[in-house]
Amino acid sequence: MPRQDPENPALAVNKKAFHDYIVEERFEAGVHLAGTEVKSCRDRAVVIGDAFVQIRNGQAWIVNMHISPYGFGNRFNHDPRQERRLLLHKNEILKLAQNLKTKGGTIIPLRIYLSKGLVKLELAYCHGKTHGDKRETLRERQADMEMRRSVKR
């Protein structure tokens, strides 16, 4: 599950990621945004459910992240589904690019949050779960719930 940080409450969380993927490794990245995009993010008008990361020409880009147009942005508003550049160190980008070469691996956003006034994105390198993996996770969760109930009584 996503880490809950009281100092940095999440603006948006990708809950489906933990159902569909096995999280291998996590990264923190900044996002290159325009002014109206930051204001929309602060209003929590962000959807990261379908988003993923591509690496092109030594840069990381987030695709399919939807940031709604700002209500008072008039002509300065942005395209809601445009690709946005991620701000990562060069060695992190190289590591992610190397991980992407493995079969079945992908990089997806887990949550987007504010840190010291800046919009940050928690990324994860993941492998897709099979149907059996999803069932096993469900069984583990149910067993854990039953143990908690028995301890409460």
Domains of the chain: 10-152 (2.40.280.10)
30 compared with 72, residue with greater pLDDT: 30
For residue 110, count other CB atoms closer than 10 A to its CB: 24
Q: What amino acid occupies position 79?
A: D
Q: How confident is the model at residue 83 (pLDDT cuts 50, 70, 90)?
A: very high
Cα 118 to chain centroid, rounded: 16
43 backbone dihedrals φ, ψ, rounded to 5°: -80, 5
38 compared with 75, residue with greater pLDDT: 38
Query: If you average pLDDT over every residue of the chain, what do you get?
Result: 88
Instruction: Note whether 112 and 10 are within 8 A (CB).
Output: yes
The mean-pLDDT minimum among 11-15, 32-36, 60-64 falls in 32-36
| Percent above pLDDT 90 for the chain | 50
Beta strand 84-87 pairing with 59-63: antiparallel
Global pTM reads 0.79
For residue 138, count other CB atoms closer than 10 A to its CB: 11
Q: Residue 8: pLDDT above 70?
A: no
pLDDT at 1: 47
